[in-house]
Amino acid sequence: MSDEFLRLFQQQEALRQLTNSFDDLRRHIDLLGDAHKRLGIGSAMMDFLRQEEAHRKMLSGLADVGGMAKIAQDFERQRKLLEGPVEAARRLGLFDLQSDIRKSISATIAVQQTYKDLFRLPDVSELRRIAHEATQKAGLARTVLGTEGRLQTAMATMRSPWLRIDGSLASAKAFSEIIAMGRGIDSLRAFDHDFAAALRPGLGDWRDMLTPAPESLIDPFWRSGFYVERGFDPDLTDFTTSAFDEGLRIAGLREQESTESVDDQQDSFARAKETFDRLQRFEVALRRFIERVMQAAFGDDWMKRQLPPKMFDTWTEKRDKAVKAGHAEHPLIDYADFTDYRAIIERKDNWNAVFKTVFGRAEDMRESFQRLFPVRIATMHARLINQDDELLLLVETKRLLRAIGTK
């Protein structure tokens, strides 16, 4: 056997051993993929595993072995990159069908499927009756939509099962209220007093309520219970994730072109990120609005004269500290806290001179900000966001942005 032939043979053998080392990993790709698909876990690792499987198939079919040494080196490097996440997956028990975590995953998937099975798509022949019954029960839908035909059309647009088999009227009423919330913001003055009052049976009465301490709002289960105490109707969010998302889009509360459609497999962290991005855009727009209208009304030095006591000094201190730490300097209002916006707007002389014409009634404006406060606390603490949070977020940010002329 010549030296050259021996060298190529050794390269091929090394490659064969490398690709064979993926046999065990390949057997688990579909298993992990199922967990990823159903629960949204380990998406980055799964994408990498699938890429490596594709590389393995490509390499195993190569006829030209002239570049095998470099290919084998690259493959070995990529294999080593996988060792960490694969070992972590083994330690977690993702590869062991009898492990507690696999049993937990299976149980969770079963619960999800059981919940999905509670819903159905209504027949076309039912829609007129369902829309009629819902309109009779939903005051907001009667106020905003006017005719049952509009609600029936919205229901006919749904493609995800959304009507609860054992409580169709509750589902239909909740769906109609969500549609009416979005359409009402678009067609009425966002802070029309009658519209604000019509929102309370669904979203709760938050006008004269002092929000609890921020640390108590971090837990999502506690928050949902707190919302119910305020009068939030839990039927509004009693839908599968895909049906809830689809309803929000039909209502115009979520932009049709924004992000990929949320479904039951969406990573909860992706939802939290979307909430963070939405809140950030909302706050930037609100700051610029406040700065613009206050400057127009009170002049360039409005901050020194029209802010509540000590607020100007607090903002200045935050800015100076940030600049000293090496951060870029921003407009002073960018150092405001979320609760500062409402305090500026509610200050009596500011309200009478600037904001009364925008929001109509101070209690309605205050209620909108207080509904957003728990969602923002959860988001800033990087906590998971549930569908109750999302509905409050989408309704109230849209109302406020509509009022200030941004939407």
Q: Look at residue 306 and tell me if it is in a domain.
A: yes
Residue 392 lies in a domain: yes
* Whole-number pLDDT of residue 272: 82
pTM comes to 0.74
Q: Does residue 22 register a pLDDT over 70?
A: no
Q: CA end-to-end span of the chain, whole Å?
A: 77
- pLDDT tens-place string over residues 357-393: 999 999 999 999 999 999 999 998 888 899 999 999 9
Q: Is residue 206 part of a domain?
A: no
Enclosing domain of residue 319: 268-403
Last residue of a domain, one of 116, 146, 172: 116
Within a domain: 281: yes
Instruction: Give the pLDDT mean for 72-88.
Output: 62
Name residue 334's amino acid. D
pLDDT tens readout for residues 259-287: 444 444 455 667 788 899 999 999 999 99
pLDDT score of 382: 81
pLDDT at 93 over 70: no
Flag whether 249 is in a domain: no
Residues 159-207: tens digit of each pLDDT: 999 999 999 999 999 999 999 999 999 988 889 999 999 999 999 999 8
Per residue in 133-153, pLDDT (tens digit) is 999 888 888 888 878 899 999
> Does the pLDDT at position 61 exceed 60?
no
Mean pLDDT of 306-325: 96
Residue that finishes a domain, picked among 85, 116, 147: 116
Select from 84, 116, 148 the last residue of a domain: 116
205 Cβ neighbours under 8 A, 6+ residues apart: 230, 231, 367
What is the model's pLDDT at position 143? Answer: 83
What's the number of domains the chain is made of? 2
Sign, CA torsion 203/204/208/210: negative
> Does residue 374 form part of some domain?
yes
- Across 107-132, average pLDDT: 88
In a domain, 140, yes or no: no
* 153: in domain: no
CA-to-CA distance for 223 and 364, rounded, in angstroms? 22
